[in-house]
Amino acid sequence: MSDSRPQLRRTTPLVSISAIVIDTETTGLNTQSDRIVQIGAVAMRDGKLDFDSTFDVLVNPGIPIPPASTEIHHINDEDVKGAETFEQAIPKLDAFFNAPLWIGYSIGFDLAVMKAEHERAGLDWSPPPSLDLQHLGQLVVPNLPNRSLETLAVWLKVPTDNRHNALGDAIMTARVFKALVPKLAEKDIFTFAAAKRASNRISTPGASENGWADIRDEGALRVRNVSEYARIDSYPYRHRVSEIMNSPPKTVKPKTTLAAAMKQLMDDNISSLFVVPEKAGKSHGIITERDVLRAIANYGPGALKKNVDQYCTRPLMGIGEDEFIYKAISRMSSLNVRHLAVFDSRGKLAGVITSRDLLQQRSGEASILGDNIEQANSAEELATIWPSLAETARGLVYEQVDPRNIAAIISRELRALTRRACELSIEEMAEKGRGKPPVQWAMMVLGSGGRGESLLAMDQDNAIIFEKGEPGGKTDRWFEEMGTRATMILHHAGVPLCDGNIMASNLEWRMSRERWRKNVQHWISRSNPQDIINSDIFFDASAVAGNEELLRELELDALEAASKSRNFIQLLSMNAADFPTVLGWFNKIKTENGRVDLKRAGLMPIFSAARVLALKHRIALNSTPQRLEAVKELEPEKARTLENLTEAHRIFLEIILKQQLRDLDAGLPLSNSISPTAFSGFELEEIRWALNETRAVSDVLGVGLTYA
């Protein structure tokens, strides 16, 4: 079999994997001398079974089929008398089986007999990446009475009809795999690499003695260096729309004639004009060179006397000025437009960006990541997109892009994913007759996602604010259902549920505007340890869906109240300065089981201190570098220390991200802990320097040393 299979990413989530699920029937169990009599398979595309794409062929083994084997699969010599030999069936096999992954139950046997058949026919054999469902089943439920496929299927409540037929067994195996995926996720096994690593620890008794293929050796998971990956054009990920947009925007009034608009386009050497509405409530429009030429082509020269209002395009297709350029590239491509309006943070028209502006910034990877989240129609589709985020991050690390930019990109995609999960939830509820949102609302992403500092080891931290409604009331129940649906969509798409239950499905993080205001006041006025944790998370919030003004009003009130509470600021300061030191004698990094939690010992003190300082000075910014930069203007005597903390923050982000990419390839659970032995001498020196600088947190906050 040829080795031109599509590439399988180690980071591909199991929920969205593409594969074939295979089963064979044979003349016996000797992998060297027995022969295949039937091959059955069903395709799985992006995690969905494709029953229109199946493979079912009888094979003439060239030897008699023993009665004992016929008793199992009900295939006799007469059935295969006119069938093709394995060698004759190869063209069909190559066409169907050239898949990125094979899945089977005790697939080591199937792979061994396939290899023997290829060698017997004088054909090359290249073992495919594979997963053994028997091993995956043992990971989930190790104590079943026996290891048969049927027993596992019964436990998972998968129908067991049409057994002992290759295609029937393949379909049942595929259904069992689908049922196992959420069970594996509960054990933090989300990706192909994680499944492969976990199942490699399990052996099948007697497999090697009976000549089965050792799938633990096949496709061994090797941790690759970042430099082994192809470069990508990093410019769209380094720069934002505001840097290349044309501003201020050129405008015309609705009653301007096409002739006058065309003259203005030519005089200003531009390709578009925005049509400003004369009445409040009406949207802006856009008139382009092509619109004018199209009007003349359709209606003749007389069209030039008509008003632009008749030919402009509404509504405007736009993008925020703070978005990265890769978003603009993707959006323009997906919408098939040549101009995008650019809006500021308040939704006001700020400029325009054109295809001409982006011509030099084209990037294939940008279009992969870009707007696909917004266009996904299910959790499975979202999960197919998510791996590209890790691959993009990997390429950007190789391009030496500032890790703060990479974290901002990851955070923006997390927020886009959360927004789309809300939209899909609302669509599902409408289909079930639950109606539209009963009042104005907003979904918030909290913590690192809200700060724009997420890396790949993320989980869900989200909350809902709605206009009015009592806890447990009709409105609250509607948002509880929406929040629960959204969190499960995110979970299935690859963003795990929050261990601390800080999610919109939880009543404590789903409140009316008035309850939120009271809760924040409670946190600020009483401030027990849990209040500190809750307020820390809340003060990094970013609205991602619904009416963002609801959160903005709450944030401004909370910022004002927090800045006036000296006791609250003092408690936050003491909490930020309370962190473990991991540097021992001679600057040796202390580890536990070979790892050190660089978030707890390094990142957290810095972003916590930045948050405290922002509250103290009423700085309405979310990101740690922006907060520290703003404080420099207000406390210039601390400028050098704040600059060093900013640089330490950058180093920690970069080191943690590199470790996460290594762990992702190795199928290890993602975390914020790093293995010092994985880094070069120079990188270790940077880590030590950053850890030493972190001790200055207590100085900038004006509290005594409290780290352990």
pLDDT in tens, 260-296: 999 999 888 888 999 988 876 678 899 998 899 889 9
Residue 232 has pLDDT above 70, yes or no: no
574 assigned to some structural domain: yes
Query: Are 303 and 198 in the same domain?
Result: no
Query: Are 215 and 266 in the same domain?
Result: no
pLDDT of residue 359: 61
pLDDT of residue 376: 82
Average pLDDT over residues 311-331: 86
Residue 540 has pLDDT above 90, yes or no: yes
487 assigned to some structural domain: no
Confidence of residue 230 (pLDDT cuts 50, 70, 90): very low
Domain limits at 321? 235-369
Number of domains in the chain: 3
pLDDT of residue 537: 84
Entry pTM: 0.73
pLDDT of residue 282: 76
Q: What is the mean pLDDT of the chain?
A: 87
Domain holding 352: CATH number?
3.10.580.10
In this predicted model, what pLDDT tens digit does every residue of 28-41 receive, in sequence order?
999 989 999 999 99
417 assigned to some structural domain: no
Beta-strand ranges (E) seen in 192-279 are: 251-252, 272-275
186 assigned to some structural domain: yes
Residue 23 has pLDDT above 50, yes or no: yes
Residue 219 has pLDDT above 70, yes or no: no
146-155, 211-220, 582-591, 604-613: the lowest-pLDDT one? 211-220
Query: Are 208 and 276 in the same domain?
Result: no
Domain holding 213: CATH number?
3.30.420.10
pLDDT of residue 371: 57
Confidence of residue 63 (pLDDT cuts 50, 70, 90): very high
Residue 705 has pLDDT above 70, yes or no: no
Query: Are 183 and 243 in the same domain?
Result: no
In this predicted model, what pLDDT tens digit does every residue of 326-369 receive, in sequence order?
888 878 877 888 889 999 888 889 999 887 777 644 444 444 45
Query: Are 308 and 200 in the same domain?
Result: no
669 assigned to some structural domain: yes
In this predicted model, what pLDDT tens digit does every residue of 470-527 receive, in sequence order?
999 999 999 999 999 999 999 888 888 888 899 999 999 999 999 999 999 888 887 6
Share of the chain above pLDDT 70, in %: 93
Query: Are 185 and 323 in the same domain?
Result: no
Structure tokens at 410: 């990851």
Query: Are 111 and 171 in the same domain?
Result: yes
Cβ-proximal residues to 697 (8 Å cutoff; 6+ apart), any chain:
576, 577, 579, 605, 606, 608, 609, 645
Cβ-proximal residues to 36 (8 Å cutoff; 6+ apart), any chain:
24, 25, 26, 59, 61, 86, 113, 114, 117
Structure tokens at 687: 């880590």
Query: Are 198 and 247 in the same domain?
Result: no
**CA 150 to each of CA 47, 68, 92, 172, 176: distance values in angstroms, whole numbers, following the listed order:** 22, 20, 29, 9, 10
Best CA proximity match to 559, nearest among 517, 631, 615: 615
Average pLDDT over residues 196-212: 80
414 assigned to some structural domain: no
Average pLDDT over residues 318-325: 88
Query: Are 180 and 310 in the same domain?
Result: no
Give 497: exposed, middle or buried? Use CB within 10 Å, 0-12, 13-18, 19+.
middle
54 assigned to some structural domain: yes
Best CA proximity match to 143, nearest among 158, 151, 177: 151
Average pLDDT over residues 397-426: 90
pLDDT of residue 234: 66
Residue 696 has pLDDT above 50, yes or no: yes
Query: Are 262 and 136 in the same domain?
Result: no
In this predicted model, what pLDDT tens digit does every residue of 367-382 receive, in sequence order?
445 557 777 888 778 8
Confidence of residue 221 (pLDDT cuts 50, 70, 90): very low
In this predicted model, what pLDDT tens digit does every residue of 548-604 receive, in sequence order?
899 988 998 999 999 999 889 988 999 899 898 999 888 899 999 999 999 999 999
Structure tokens at 539: 């003060």
In this predicted model, what pLDDT tens digit does every residue of 68-88 receive, in sequence order?
999 988 999 999 999 999 988
pLDDT of residue 418: 94
Instruction: Name the residue with tokens 């959160």.
Output: 551
Alpha helices (H) in 336-492, listed in sequence order? 355-358, 364-369, 372-375, 379-398, 403-431, 447-451, 474-492
Of 315, 348, 369, which one is at a domain's C-terminal end? 369
Of 221, 252, 280, which one is at a domain's C-terminal end? 221
pLDDT of residue 227: 41
From the CB of residue 335, how many other CB atoms can be counted at a distance below 10 Å?
A: 11
Residue 226 has pLDDT above 50, yes or no: no
Query: Are 191 and 325 in the same domain?
Result: no
DSSP class of residue 246?
Answer: B
Residue 9 has pLDDT above 80, yes or no: no
pLDDT of residue 269: 86
pLDDT of residue 35: 95
196-205, 244-253, 524-533, 556-565: the lowest-pLDDT one? 524-533
Confidence of residue 259 (pLDDT cuts 50, 70, 90): very high
pLDDT of residue 367: 43
Cβ-proximal residues to 51 (8 Å cutoff; 6+ apart), any chain:
42, 171
520 assigned to some structural domain: no
Query: Are 296 and 214 in the same domain?
Result: no
pLDDT of residue 644: 95
Confidence of residue 124 (pLDDT cuts 50, 70, 90): confident
Of 310, 344, 369, which one is at a domain's C-terminal end? 369
Average pLDDT over residues 198-227: 66
